[in-house]
Amino acid sequence: MNENKITLTDDFNIFNLIRNLWKDRILFMAIIAAFGIGSIIYTLAVDPIWEVISVIKPADPSEETTLNEASPIIGLSLGGYSHDPVINNILITIKSDTFLEQFYHKYKSSIELFDFKEKDYEGMDQKQKAEMMRHNALEKLHKVIDFQVNSDHNTITISVKLKDKYFAYDFLNDFLSTLKEYIVKQNTEEMEEDFRFYSELSQKSNDPMISQMLEKKVMEKMEKKYKLTSNVFRIVQKPAVPAKRIFPKRTMTVVVVTMIGTLFSLMIISLKPVFIKIYKMLKDNPA
């Protein structure tokens, strides 16, 4: 029975660890210092990033179909699709390359946004260069512009993260007005197309009942589209020049990294006997 008795020290070998820590205190402190100093140097050297945020509320939320009320209350369930057309329309637009391309053409020469370096395009002909520049620009725009749907309030938070906070502020303002114009234009075109379609149908129809029905349909379409055209979204929170950078968060980074360094150092100390054993094994059996 005695040989099966395990002491607390064996089960949770923290006492052994403390003893080993004292023995290897220089290594222990060196690792912590490496993490701590490394994080300080990193946070000082890295370019700061500023974030400008705006919150928009899509128009006509009553048109939105919210989540199915008969969904299960606990855990997960494979439910049906949800439809939020206005929000979806805005999201699809923000994500689309066609929409973002406008900013590429507009800000092509702004080094605050696109820092194209000639050496990256060396050896390419004009066409290849233009294609590659467009590709890189869109990649950058997708990275810089972020959005988040708050399904509790049916709002969308749009943010722009850049190294220059004033440029980011101007850019987000421009982005919002361009977004509105773009969606209005799309909706108007769609509305005109619908109008043309139903008008032609109505003209072709000889039956006054059908004509009346089609005209009613046109009016309904017009009314709905007008609402969406005149009021795409409302800006709930206007962009503002940020007072604090979002990256790097120096104090937090140094604290967390140093803490991780301490725990990592503990692990290394606990692994030292294993490494010594392997080293001895390799030394004894060099083959």
Partner 1 sequence: MIPDSFYYILISIVIFSILLAWLKSGTIFNPVSFFTIWWGSFIFISSINLVGIRTPRIGTFWVLLTALALYSIGSVTFLKSRSSGHRIEPVFITSHVTGEENFLLKIFLYAQIVTTVILIVFLRKSIGILSSLDAGTYRFLVYTDAGIFEGHKLLLNYYIRPSVFTAMFVTMAGVYLGSIKKKYFILAVMNIFIYSTVILGRSSVILLIMCSVIGLAYMYDSGLIKIKKRYVALILVPFIFLVSMSVFRRSQYLANKSGMEIVARYFIWYLTAPFSAFDYFLNTYREGIDYDFTHFRSVLGGIEEFLEPLIKKFYPKFSQINNSSYSIIAEFRDFGGPATHHNSHYTMLFTFYKDAGVIGVALFSYFFGALTSSVYNSFRNNTHLFNLIILILLTYLSIMGTTRWELMFAWPWTIIILSFLVTKKFIFEKKVQI
Shortest reach from residue 64's CB to partner 1, in Å = 11
Which of 26, 274 has the CB closer to partner 1?
274
Number of residues lying near partner 1 (CB under 8 A): 49
Question: Where does residue 137 rank: exposed (0-12), middle (13-18), buried (19+ CB within 10 A)?
Answer: buried
| Residue 177 interacting with partner 1 (CB under 8 A) | no
Shortest reach from residue 65's CB to partner 1, in Å = 11
Which of 219, 255 has the CB closer to partner 1?
255
Shortest reach from residue 201's CB to partner 1, in Å = 33
| Residue 251 interacting with partner 1 (CB under 8 A) | no
| Residue 45 interacting with partner 1 (CB under 8 A) | no
| Residue 3 interacting with partner 1 (CB under 8 A) | yes
Shortest reach from residue 59's CB to partner 1, in Å = 20
Q: Which one among 115, 139, 189, 193 touches partner 1, defined by CB under 8 A? A: 139
Which of 84, 232 has the CB closer to partner 1?
84
Calculate helix-pair angle for 165-204, 97-107, nearest 10 degrees: 130
Q: Which one among 96, 128, 148, 212 touches partner 1, defined by CB under 8 A? A: 148
| Residue 259 interacting with partner 1 (CB under 8 A) | yes
| Residue 82 interacting with partner 1 (CB under 8 A) | yes
| Residue 260 interacting with partner 1 (CB under 8 A) | yes
Q: Which residues bind partner 1 (CB under 8 A)?
A: 1, 3-6, 10-14, 17, 67-68, 70-82, 84, 139, 142-143, 146, 148, 150-152, 157, 252, 255-256, 259-260, 263-264, 266-267, 270-271, 274, 278
